[in-house]
Amino acid sequence: GVGFEAIGVCEAAYRLALAYAAERRSMGKTIDRHEMIADFLDEMRTDIQGLRALAVESAYYEELMQRTKAKAKYMVEPGSLEAKRLEKESRRYGRKTRRATPMLKLLATERAVDMARKAIQIHGGVGYTTEYRAEQLLRDAMVLPIYEGTSQIQGLMIMKDSLTGIMKNPQGFISNLAQARWRSLSARDPLERRVAKLQYLGYTAQQHLMQKTVGGKLREVSKHNIREWSHRLRHGWDPKRDFAFAMLHAERLGRLLGDVAIAEALLDQSRQHSERRELLERFLDRAEIRVDALHEEITTRGDRLIARLRGDDRGAEQAAE
């Protein structure tokens, strides 16, 4: 899919930038030894490895879903207990791949644009010319966050699935939030504590969007006759109006949860292969800053813009009347 294609562009941009930086000399050394360029290259390498982990997880669960679905359809008696078990298992794998796929598309395509731009930056003036192919990579990358579902559409899918999951199983969500908080404080492994902290921030960001959505609906319903409250809470939802705050922050939530998903995948890998711990630590050093910033935006910003948009909508409705 496009997510895998975007990882290919990321890899091409990284290799092109790395090769040029290893040859280009400035101030007595190759520029890959200069601190800022070294930081660019380290970030690109780390992001690519993290995206690959998410891509493998997405493909793995997609394969398991298709296999169990085919087995239930062709290899067991239709309607049997085994068929029902396989169908349930297939749906479980489907939920996992549905969670990972839009995150991969969102993160990988946006990273591809960023890495292609960094490749030009590392090349300097010649990166803008056709001589080194860096400019072509940027042109190729620019379309990736657009076709087959824009980054904003991926964010909306992630937000919708997140809030739907909370509404279907609020007790499970609260339990997961509490467990993440506990692990962030008590896990023996310091890397596990750091991953749990990211998970906790992911849960509290979702909780905030849910509270804003439900709170806004309750305020709107309270303006009507008390006899209508039950009906309006069950049937009177307007997706465009009632979910406005969640839609505003959908892409931010997608980016935040994408970083959390990568951290989870890398933690699982590090438990089986100790050499992956160094990668997990590198990733967390950068992801923690991003997640903190996204969490801050989601939980403290947006009311002013939503109020202005609602005022504009009321004005438009009055003008139409």
**pLDDT attached to residue 172:** 93
Q: At which of 89, 119, 149 does a domain end?
A: 149
Percent of the chain at pLDDT exceeding 90: 71
In a domain, 321, yes or no: no
Tell me, yes or no, whether 22 and 133 share the same domain: yes
Q: Which of 84, 93, 117 is nearest to 13 (CA)?
A: 117
Assign 197 a pLDDT band (cuts: 50, 70, 90): very high
320 pLDDT higher than 60: no
Q: At which of 101, 120, 149 does a domain end?
A: 149
**pLDDT attached to residue 312:** 66
Mean pLDDT on 152-172: 92
Tell me, yes or no, whether 108 and 230 share the same domain: no
Tell me, yes or no, whether 14 and 26 share the same domain: yes
Cβ neighbours of residue 73 under 8 Å, at least 6 residues apart?
A: none
Mean pLDDT taken over the chain: 90
Cβ neighbours of residue 109 under 8 Å, at least 6 residues apart?
A: 2, 3, 6, 141, 144, 145, 151
Task: Encode pLDDT of 38-80 as tens digits.
Answer: 999 999 999 999 999 999 999 999 999 999 999 888 888 888 8
Tell me, yes or no, whether 135 and 163 share the same domain: no
In a domain, 283, yes or no: yes
Count of structural domains within the chain: 2
Cβ neighbours of residue 43 under 8 Å, at least 6 residues apart?
A: 286
**pLDDT attached to residue 220:** 65
321 pLDDT higher than 70: no
Tell me, yes or no, whether 310 and 182 share the same domain: yes
Q: Are 151 and 255 in contact (CB under 8 A)?
A: no
Mean pLDDT on 258-272: 97
Tell me, yes or no, whether 137 and 67 share the same domain: yes
The CA-atom distances, in angstroms, between 263 and each of 141, 305, 308 are: 25, 32, 37
State the pairing for strand pair 25-26/29-30.
antiparallel
- 147-165 as b/e, with b when 16 or more CB fall inside 10 Å? eebebebbbbbbbbebbeb
**pLDDT attached to residue 219:** 66
Task: Encode pLDDT of 205-248 as tens digits.
Answer: 999 999 898 876 666 656 666 565 555 555 556 666 778 899 99
Identify the CATH number of the domain in which residue 95 sits. Answer: 1.20.140.10
Assign 84 a pLDDT band (cuts: 50, 70, 90): confident
Tell me, yes or no, whether 177 and 298 share the same domain: yes
Percent of the chain at pLDDT exceeding 70: 89
In degrees and rounded to multiples of 5, residue 29 shows phi and psi of: -155, 160
Q: At which of 149, 172, 206 does a domain end?
A: 149
Domain that holds residue 238: 153-316
Mean pLDDT on 86-110: 94
Assign 318 a pLDDT band (cuts: 50, 70, 90): low
The burial class, CB within 10 Å (0-12 / 13-18 / 19+), for 115 is: buried
Length of the chain: 321
297 pLDDT higher than 80: yes
Mean pLDDT on 170-190: 96
288 pLDDT higher than 60: yes
DSSP calls for 52-65: HHHHHHHHHHHHHH
